Amino acid sequence: MRKLASAAAALLMMGSAAQAATEIDFFFPVPVQGKLSTEMTRMVEGFNSSQTDVHVTPVFTGAYDDTNLKTRAAVAAGKPPAAVLMSANFMREYAIDQKAMPLDALIAKDGKTPEAFIEQFFPAVRPNATENGHVYGVPFQNSTPILYYSVDAFKEAGLDPEKPPVTWQEWVDAAKKLTKRDGDSLTRAGLMIVEQYDTLGWLTSGFTMSNGGEYYNRGWGGEVYYNTASTIGAVQFLDDLVHKFKVMPEGVSDANAVASAFFSGRAAMIVNSTGALGFVRDNMKTPFKVAFVPRAIRNAVPIGGASLIIPEGNSPERQAAAWKLITYLTSPAVNGSWSRFTGYFAPRMAAYDLPEMKDYIAKNPDAKVAIDQLAYGQPWFATFNTVGVRKALEDQVQAVLSGKAKPAEAMAQAQKDADALLRPYVEQTALKLPQ
């Protein structure tokens, strides 16, 4: 009887412990191709198995923009997720709108200042994680755009695969040699870039910065620089690639079309996120290499990727549980594992001190290109009404790529549309504009 009583007591205690676990949900996007959703679910299961205090239900929420919309809707409904893997360039808007909580107090409980905490991450990713001296996001997956190119296509065109183009002029020259046509039909594009929403704005910002300009006001959420010589010049370069040099197809190519063209030999060079590197490795059947995105005036690339946030409206218990998950996911070992699976670089610098990461870089030198390019990494576009302001530009760039608009007039319209969307924030924070 005593043994039965002891067993019953043990079962009761186990049941109480299980009931004591804080149940939380975790929204996460998959912005690039590959089996990222499956791997993220596996990682969350690893967290759940590692402790008994918190149980996390992972919820796949689509692309970055989809995740933003679903998170805002949940917050508005009074049912915010406990943690979200949010596009890093939404941090400023979430801070402005008070939709995400500053993480300083949780950081302090771990015995760190916000400054000391954020210094654990690469300098290039820090600006998109902080706002007005407060930490709003913990960098988890980050990227830069990189140039992917076919070794066989380079050799066939008489180009040295060990010497990829480093300037825009060299890029055009190489693309011309790599392009193939059958009459008016483009059978192999010398170059393709991802031109869908979100990625197109990201890449255009990089071309603008490489062209010597700035894309937005880094210190204030109410100003963008679309109708400037540097931005117009960057869009003119894209227009020329399509309509003057005819090395890129006309129209708007999404990530699937670009990847398919590269894998099948219908594109010799592509520009995409380093976050797609694992996907390309798994699917490219012929040799390929990666390199810096060629420069105009200077090397400059926008940081991309996502940070972990805690939306406003969660109880202290759920906040603590979310922070435990965030701490786990951004630990050097877990962050490094995610990097090796996806191709995103690990923003946690200590990940690269681990033996398994050193071995991975040694065996996969292509993974080092994004790390080397961090020396030229610039903050990611972040404003009030981020998506609308970004799309104001993307709509016009897509019109240029489709032959429906010229760069100068397109950028003038983009600026006008963006200014209208930014007006409420400008009036609130800087000045009263005339009606």
**Cβ proximity of 217 and 223 under 8 Å:** yes
**Complete domains list, the chain, with CATH:** 22-143+304-378 (3.40.190.10), 145-301+384-429 (3.40.190.10)
> pTM (2 decimals)?
0.90
| Rounded percentage of the chain residues whose pLDDT exceeds 90 | 89
**Cβ proximity of 374 and 122 under 8 Å:** yes
Phi then psi dihedrals of residue 366, to 5 deg: -65, -25
* 303-360 confidence digits (pLDDT tens): 999 999 999 999 999 999 999 999 999 999 999 999 999 888 999 999 999 999 999 9
- Say how far apart CA 207 and CA 383 lie, in whole Å: 19
Three-class DSSP labels, 131-188: ECCEECCEEEEEECEEEEEEHHHHHHCCCCCCCCCCEHHHHHHHHHHHCEEECCEEEE
* 189-244 confidence digits (pLDDT tens): 999 999 999 999 999 999 999 999 999 999 999 999 999 999 999 999 999 999 99
**Cβ proximity of 315 and 176 under 8 Å:** no
For range 180-191, the mean pLDDT: 94
Q: How much is the mean pLDDT over the chain?
A: 93
| Distances 178 to 173, 195, 301 between C-alpha atoms, Å | 9, 20, 24
